[in-house]
Amino acid sequence: MDTYIAMTKYVSATIGDQPTDGSLPIVQGTMGPAGVDIQALYSRHGVLAFDPGFRSTASCKSAITFVDGDEGVLLYRGYPIEELAEHSTLVEVAYLLMHGDLPTAVQRAEFDRAIGQYNLLHEQVMSFYNGFRRDAHPMAVMVAVVGALSAFYHDVIDIRNPQDRTRAAIRLIAKMPMIAAASYTYFMGRQQRYPINKLDYSANFLQMMFGLPTSEYVVDPVLARAVDVILILHADHEQNASTSTVRLAASSGANPFACIAAGIASLWGPAHGGANEAVVRMLHEIGSVENIPKAIARAKDKSDSFRLMGFGHRIYKNFDPRSRVIQAQAKKVLAHLGKDDPLLEIAIRLEEIALKDEYFVERKLYPNVDFYSGILLQAMGFPLNMFTAVFAVARTTGWASHWLELQEEAHGIDRPRQIYVGQTLRHYPKK
Pick from 121, 176, 309, 393 the residue near ligand CMC by CB under 6 A: 309
> Closest CB to ligand CMC among 183 and 240?
240
> Closest CB to ligand CMC among 150 and 327?
327
Under the criterion CB under 6 A, does residue 272 sit at the interface with ligand CMC? Answer: yes
Calpha distance 95→89 (Å, rounded): 10
Residue 187 carries which DSSP code? H
CA-wise closest residue to 168 among 388, 399, 394, 392: 399
Pick from 310, 321, 374, 398 the residue near ligand CMC by CB under 6 A: 310
Between the alpha carbon of residue 286 and those of residues 290, 347, 349, the distances in Å are 9, 10, 12
CB of 279 to ligand CMC, least distance (A): 7
Containing 36, the helix (H) or strand (E) segment is strand 35-36
Parallel/antiparallel/unpaired status of strands 26-27 and 79-80 = unpaired
Catalytic residue among 234, 320, 370, 402: 370
Under the criterion CB under 6 A, does residue 402 sit at the interface with ligand CMC? Answer: no
CB of 187 to ligand CMC, least distance (A): 23
Q: Count of CB atoms within 10 A of residue 335's CB? A: 12
Q: What angle do CA 100, 162, 169 make, to 5 degrees?
A: 65
CB of 410 to ligand CMC, least distance (A): 29
Calpha distance 183→170 (Å, rounded): 21
Q: Reduce the DSSP state of residue 88 to 3 states and report it.
A: coil
Pick from 147, 256, 273, 374 the residue near ligand CMC by CB under 6 A: 273
Calpha distance 268→310 (Å, rounded): 15
Under the criterion CB under 6 A, does residue 307 sit at the interface with ligand CMC? Answer: yes
Parallel/antiparallel/unpaired status of strands 35-36 and 26-27 = antiparallel
Under the criterion CB under 6 A, does residue 399 sit at the interface with ligand CMC? Answer: no
Pick from 44, 190, 314, 336 the residue near ligand CMC by CB under 6 A: 314
Biggest distance spanned by C-alpha atoms of the chain:
79
Give the residue at shortest CB distance from ligand CMC: 312
Which residues is 311 bridged to in the sheet?
367
In one-letter notation, the amino acid at residue 258 is: A
Under the criterion CB under 6 A, does residue 275 sit at the interface with ligand CMC? Answer: yes
Under the criterion CB under 6 A, does residue 313 sit at the interface with ligand CMC? Answer: yes
Calpha distance 101→322 (Å, rounded): 21
Residue 311 carries which DSSP code? B
In one-letter notation, the amino acid at residue 425 is: L
Catalytic residue among 236, 313, 320, 341: 313
Helices (H) and strands (E) in the chain, counts: 19, 5
Calpha distance 49→402 (Å, rounded): 25
Please choose, out of 29-37, 186-194, 256-264, 302-310, the segment that lies near ligand CMC by the rule CB under 6 A: 302-310
Contact letters for ligand CMC, residues 123-162 (x by CB under 6 A): ----------------------------------------
* Total binding residues toward ligand CMC, as defined by CB under 6 A: 19
Under the criterion CB under 6 A, does residue 393 sit at the interface with ligand CMC? Answer: no
Under the criterion CB under 6 A, does residue 47 sit at the interface with ligand CMC? Answer: no
Under the criterion CB under 6 A, does residue 369 sit at the interface with ligand CMC? Answer: yes
Pick from 65, 368, 373, 396 the residue near ligand CMC by CB under 6 A: 368
Under the criterion CB under 6 A, does residue 370 sit at the interface with ligand CMC? Answer: yes
Answer yes or no: 370 catalytic. Answer: yes
Under the criterion CB under 6 A, does residue 230 sit at the interface with ligand CMC? Answer: no
Calpha distance 419→417 (Å, rounded): 7
Answer yes or no: 154 catalytic. Answer: no
Q: Name the site residues for ligand CMC (rule: CB under 6 A).
A: 240, 271-273, 275, 299, 307-314, 363, 365, 368-370
Query: Which residue numbers are catalytic?
Result: 313, 370
